[in-house]
């Protein structure tokens, strides 16, 4: 992005279209907290199933989260939004700006996001289909993704004393698994259970962004 393209930062305010229950929205809300941008961003709820919700004009995919800038520009995908917010805040608190470490963090964040994606697809299978029409093959396919990703993290978990793009994504994946329970992950992954406990102590924004009791929406 050119320097001239950053002129819109002067208004200092943004709108985040999300919900308190979106795991990807939670990632962004944690980043907002950690980067000290809470006073500059207003969270406005969106209903992804409502054809009349303006979210579908702001993000043609109709997905959360979506960040609206003062000039009307919309940014979407949680990773894109977090990178942008880090640039707004300055520095590289959540993601290195250059080098192999940057791409390693992005890869780990993608792996963690894959857990959440697969869990969401399992939840949607039960939400959009009648029980008699569930695809057990599809559900097993998603469980396999989650199992392999969890095994990789169990073998080599990131440092729970650091808050960055990857650890935020991983903690939010665990939060969604605990909340919606598409799979039972804790018994087979004691190191990750300990990791989440340690990360929760290290990063208070994780508790502050916890979803309310389960409802009909993800």
Extents of the domains making up the chain: 10-89, 100-204
Q: How many residues can be counted in the chain?
A: 218
Q: 65: cis peptide before it, omega within 30°?
A: yes
Name which of 43, 50, 86 is nearest 66 in CA terms: 43
pLDDT at 120: 97
CA 163 to chain centre: 14
Span 10-89 CATH architecture: 3-Layer(aba) Sandwich (3.40)
- CATH, range 100-204: 1.20.1050.10
Q: What are phi and psi of 217, to 5 degrees?
A: -110, 150
CB neighbour burial string for 117-148, b if at least 16 within 10 angstroms, e if fewer: bbbbebbebeeeeeeeeeeeeebeebeebbbe
**In this structure, what token pair is assigned to residue 193?**
């259970």
pLDDT in tens, the chain (218 residues): 233 333 343 468 999 999 999 999 999 999 999 999 999 999 999 999 999 999 999 999 999 999 999 999 999 999 999 999 999 999 999 999 999 999 999 999 999 999 999 999 999 998 888 888 999 999 999 999 999 999 999 999 999 999 999 999 999 999 999 999 999 999 999 999 999 999 999 999 999 999 877 555 55
Compute the distance between CA of residue 2 and CA of residue 21 in angstroms, rounded to an integer: 35
What pLDDT shows up at residue 131?
85
pTM above the 0.85 mark? yes
């Amino acid at each position: 992005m050119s320097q001239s393209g950053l002129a819109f930062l002067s208004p200092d305010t943004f709108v985040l279209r999300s919900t308190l229950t979106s795991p990807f929205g939670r990632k962004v809300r944690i980043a907002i907290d950690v980067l000290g941008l809470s006073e500059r961003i207003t969270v406005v709820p969106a209903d992804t199933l409502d054809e009349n919700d303006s979210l579908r004009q702001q993000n043609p995919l109709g997905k959360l989260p979506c960040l609206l800038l003062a000039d009307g520009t919309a940014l979407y995908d949680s990773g894109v939004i977090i990178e942008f917010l880090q640039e707004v805040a300055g520095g590289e608190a959540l993601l290195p700006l250059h080098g192999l470490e940057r791409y390693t963090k992005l890869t780990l964040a993608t792996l963690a996001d894959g857990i959440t994606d697969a869990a969401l697809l399992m939840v949607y299978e039960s939400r959009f289909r009648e029980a008699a029409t569930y695809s057990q093959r599809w559900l097993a396919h998603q469980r396999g993704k989650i199992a392999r990703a969890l095994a990789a993290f169990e073998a080599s978990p990131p440092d729970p004393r650091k808050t960055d793009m990857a650890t935020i994504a991983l903690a939010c994946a665990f939060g969604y698994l605990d909340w919606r329970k598409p799979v039972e992950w804790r018994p087979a992954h004691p190191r990750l259970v300990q990791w989440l406990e340690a990360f929760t102590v290290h990063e208070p924004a994780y508790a502050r962004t916890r979803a309310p009791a389960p409802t009909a929406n993800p």
